[in-house]
Amino acid sequence: MKKKTIISLVLGFAALMLVLTGCGNNSSKSSSSKDSSSEASGKITAVGSTALQPLVEKAATNFQKKNSKVTITVQGGGSGTGLSQVQDKSVTIGNSDIFAEEKQGIDSKKLVDHKVAVVGMAPVVNKDANVKSLTMEQVKQIFTGKITNWKEVGGKDEKITVVNRAKGSGTRATFESAVLKGEEAVKSQEQDSNGTVQKIVESTPGAVSYLAFSYINDKIQPISIDNVKPTDENVESDKWKIWSYEHMYTNGKADSATTKFLDYMNSKDVQDSLVKDMGYISIHNMKVQKDSKGTVSSK
């Protein structure tokens, strides 16, 4: 009888241990599941391209509404600044209109490229010039100082005032690569943001510059080139030659909050609505692709 009692006690203890072990495993799984679904948190600073800035600012605002533990700060400064600062790890994201490989002093091997949109760029003039269309050669001669009056290209008898972007601007690098083809731009006033250029061209008779599509409004005149209009559809097929990717570079692998934000930038919420609404082109709509050397090929 005593033997049976001991066996019963042993079996009972074993059963209790199995129950406790099972509870422990369930508790671990529950904790793990909770951790994997927890809301991202952290601070993100994105600096660089003013052409990309409006899109990132709006996307950041929308993202933070659903991710209240993430704080995102977006600043301009130009593509060169964005690339330099993300390389130095002084910011989380470097926004750029150009590939890191195109910028002198940047070690592209350290950076990870996240393409989030495409931006078209076009020459723009003050409406007083009375010019709507030019050839690519005429655009080149205007920005190299060989054509100095609008009457030379069928416009008003008015001096041309060239407004250039500052050195380090990705918009400038893209424009000069597509239009000037290695020739030096005429010396002129330089501005460091699309927004400032927009206001100067609008208010200065005879002024000419170039802007991202997202900054073109009805107060300035965009210029068609070789009878091709600066439209999204023409960029998508490369009929319009002045365009670039919008890059968001990270220094190595991004942290969880940054990864989640970059994933959001490529989501349908952004690509199918916000990108188009704000004057950009979805990377998913491109029929061609471009590499860091400027070579364009079909997808």
Q: Is residue 282 situated within a structural domain?
A: yes
- Residue 195 sits in a domain whose CATH number is 3.40.190.10
Q: Is residue 149 situated within a structural domain?
A: yes
Looking up tokens 């080139």, which residue turns up?
A: 225
Token pair recorded at residue 192: 């460091």
Asked if residue 263 and residue 179 are part of one domain, the reply reads: no
- Is the Cβ–Cβ distance between 164 and 180 less than 8 Å? no
> Which residue among 237, 252, 284 closes a domain?
237
CA pseudo-torsion sign 53, 59, 65, 66: negative
Q: Is residue 35 situated within a structural domain?
A: no
In this prediction the pTM is: 0.81
At residue 192, the pLDDT reads 84
Asked if residue 284 and residue 136 are part of one domain, the reply reads: no
Residue 133, domain extent: 120-237
At residue 142, the pLDDT reads 98
- Low-confidence residues of the chain: pLDDT under 50: 1-37
Give the DSSP H/E element, type plus range, for residue 74. Answer: strand 70-77
Asked if residue 280 and residue 251 are part of one domain, the reply reads: yes
Asked if residue 198 and residue 97 are part of one domain, the reply reads: no
Q: Which of 99, 63, 17, 30 is nearest to 294 (CA)?
A: 99
At residue 38, the pLDDT reads 58
Asked if residue 230 and residue 144 are part of one domain, the reply reads: yes
Asked if residue 219 and residue 161 are part of one domain, the reply reads: yes
How do residues 45-67 score in pLDDT, each as one tens digit? 999 999 999 999 999 999 999 99
Return the number of other C-beta atoms located less than 10 Å from residue 299's C-beta: 6
Phi, psi of 59 (to 5 degrees): -65, -40
Q: Which of 80, 220, 93, 210 is nearest to 140 (CA)?
A: 210
